[in-house]
Every structure is written in C-alpha cells, then in structure tokens.
Amino acid sequence: MDDDEELASLLTELLTREGFSVDTRNEGRRGLSAALGGGYDLLVLDVMLPGLDGFEILRRIRRETRLPVLMLTARGEDEDRIVGLELGADDYLPKPFNTRELVARIRAIMRRLEQRAPGGRLELNGISIDPGTRDVTRDGEHVEVTTFEFDILETLMRSAGRVVSRDELMEELYGRKATPFDRSVDMHISHLRKKLEGEKPLIKTVRGVGYQFVRSPEEGVAA
C-alpha cells in the first residue's frame, strides 16, 4: 500500500518481473479491507496513506492476523520505525530505498516462511509452543504472537541455556547482519517479554552479546 501512484506502479512492475503476484491499494481503508480479506503472503505498507495511515492499518491488522508486514518509513524518522515495530511490523525499510534491497528483504521474509519446517512441540519454564499450529501458551493460557515473534521464541527455546547473538537472529529471520541502529530484533524481544513474562524473566539479555531463554525459574534469578 502506497499513496504515491507512480512509485506503486514502478514497484508493481519491478516485483512482477521478479516473479511476485502483486496487488496495490492507494487508499488506507481499501487497503485494510483487502489485507484482512486474506489471500496475501506479505504486506508492504507505507506510513503515509489517505483515509487511514499505516500505523492504524497495522494496528487493526494485528488484531486479526499474523500477516507479515514490511513497513516503509521516511528516512531519518526513527520514531516511525520504533512505532511501527511496537505495533507489530516485522521489518521496516526507510524511503527512499534501493529497489534491490526491497526485493532482497521481501525474498528473505518469504524464504523464511517457506523453508521453516515445523519441529516438535517445545515446553520450557511454563511456555509451550507448537511449530505445526504456531500456537503459544503460557501456563496453559493462549498467547497471541506475530510470525516473527514466534520464530524468535522458537529459536531461543531450541537454544535454551545458550546465548543467541543478535547477528544469529538477524541472519535467521532477515538474512542480513545486525547493525548498531537496527532495533527490529530488540523490539520483537521486548514484545515477547511483555506477553510472556511475569515476576521472573524468561529471556535474559547478555549485554553486548545477545539473548538467552532460561530453562528454569532458577536460571532467571540473578546471583
């Protein structure tokens, strides 16, 4: 979704040549209706749209679906990127952007979704995940998570007790190295903590290294 019709037309032509099936909307409410109607694998969403802005569209999408969302933000607008990630965007790309980078990011998201083979159910420290259904429960109660939040949680739980670096998570999720200013993984971790943690931490930050899922309540207690 982008209100710049010329840019939308150019991107449609580019992505079609790259083998994608593309549908565009230039107005927020029509775009939201189409996205919620199903049948899409990924949404590229601009912040600035008439009718409804990208943030409100993302907020409403996250109430009903885990559809991956790549958000386009104005270059230099760090606040837009943070807000987008807070609302559940899976990744962001500042405008103006290199079209090859856009294609690469879309392919990375699609490749991860297509190639990730479901493993067995995992249960650790009160958290249970089912990769087949992508369901998450905490002490038996269902917890709603996005596709990227689920994948981060699964990666950390399968490596429970070991520190997983930000670079590992970025390579696993996005197919690129982490940069000092890329907040996407950190924001997804923050969301998971808010949704899953109670009095004792489940995901520990190892400063300067990465993140660790604790295997038992005792591991989450600082010595």
Chain segment 194-215, per-residue pLDDT in tens: 999 877 789 999 988 899 999 8
Please give the mean pLDDT across all residues of the chain.
Answer: 85
Residue ending a domain, among 81, 115, 149, is 115
Which SS3 state, helix, strand or coil, does residue 36 take?
helix
Domains held by the chain: number: 2
Predicted TM-score (pTM) of this structure = 0.69
Closest CA to 1 of 67, 59, 57, 45: 45
**Percent of all residues in the chain with a pLDDT value above 90, rounded to a whole number:** 35
Closest CA to 77 of 55, 96, 94: 94
Specify the pLDDT at position 222.
42
Q: For position 159, which CATH number holds?
A: 1.10.10.10
Q: Are 155 and 185 in contact (CB under 8 A)?
A: no
Q: What is the pLDDT of residues 121-159, one digit of tens each?
A: 889 999 999 988 889 999 999 999 888 899 899 999 999
Q: Which domain holds residue 140?
A: 122-220
Q: For position 9, which CATH number holds?
A: 3.40.50.2300
- What DSSP string runs through 109-147? HHHHHHH------EEETTEEEETTTTEEEETTEEE---H
Residue ending a domain, among 63, 89, 115, is 115
In the sheet that 203-206 helps form, which strands lie side by side, from edge to edge?
164-165, 210-213, 203-206
